[in-house]
Amino acid sequence: MKLKNLLASIGVRLRPRTYDYTVETFNLATEGAVQFALWNHPKCRVGEIRQDSIDELRRYLRPGDAVIDIGAHTGETSVLYALAVGKEGRVFAVEPNRYVLPILKKNAALNSNMAPIKILPYAATEQKATLTFNYSDPGYCNGGDLQQFGSLKHGHLYPLKVEGRNVLSELRRSSPEWLARIRLIKTDTEGSDHAVVKTLRELIVATRPLLLCEVYKWATLEQRKAFYRFVTEELGYDCFGAKPYAQLKGEPIGPDDLMKQHHFDIFCIPR
C-alpha cells in the first residue's frame, strides 16, 4: 500500500481540493460544434464527444425520448444522450458528488441544440437517506458506496456524506409527464447497480426501457449472478456485452459469462 493510502487509512488525509474546468469544442460531422467542459482534476479521464457515439445511441433512442443517467459525473454521457434525443427530449442526470456538480451544471448549460439536462443532485436509493461514499483522492474524482467491498480492497479512503433519494418518487413529483417517455436507464455506480435498478423496478416494468449497467470489478460471482437473475428472470430482459459507446449490443451474456471479464458493461433489452 502506498504511504499516502496507508496514512489515509488511519485518518491522516489531505485537505479536500477543488478543480476548475476548461471548455473544449468538438466539431462533429452532423451536430456541428459541440462544447464540453473538461474537469481539470488530474485523475479525471479526458472526455471526448464523438459523432460515432451519438450515432450509435440513435440506433436505440428517438427524438423526444427521455434518459435517466445515474452516475452522471461530469456529464459526458448526459451530453451524448442529450444530443441523441434532441431538443424535444430530456435527460435526468443523477449525481450526488458536490465536488463534480459544478462541472456537470456547466455541461448542462452548454449546447442549445441538445435536450435539456435536469440535474438530480443525490444518490439513487430506495428511501431518503444519508450515505457515506468513498472516493479515491482528496479531489473526490472516482468513488461511490463501496463499503460492501471493504477499504483494503477498494482503496478509496476519502469519505463523503451524500444525500440519497428515490429517483422515481422525485420524477413523479417534478416531471411526471416524462415517465412514459423514458427510453434508456444507465447506471454506473461502482458496484451498486443491482440495488439502484431495484429502486426503479416499478418504472422498468411499466415502460420497458433499455438498461445500460456496469458490472463492477470487485463484484463477486454471487453478486453478479443475483443481478443477472434479477434482470433476466424478474424483469424479463436479455443481456448483451456492451462497449459504450462504440457498440451497445454486443455478444449475448449468459450465466456462464459473468466472470470472464474483470469489469464490463451490459446492455439489457426487454423481451
Mean pLDDT in residue range 151-158: 70
Domain count along the chain? 1
In a domain, 271, yes or no: no
Is 265 inside a domain boundary?
no
Q: 157 lies in a domain? A: yes
What pTM, to 2 d.p., does this model score? 0.94
C-alpha cell at 21: 474546468
- One-character DSSP codes across 219-247: --HHHHHHHHHIIIIIS-EEEEEEBTTTB
Predicted confidence at residue 3, as pLDDT, reads 42
Give the CATH number for residue 70. Answer: 3.40.50
Looking at residue 47, its pLDDT comes to 81
Average of per-residue pLDDT values in the chain = 93
Task: Judge whether 241 lies within some domain.
Answer: no
Q: Is residue 233 part of a domain?
A: no
225, part of any domain = no
Does residue 117 sit within a domain? Answer: yes
Strand partners, 70: 94, 187
Within-domain flag for 253? no
Residue 21 belongs to domain spanning: 3-219
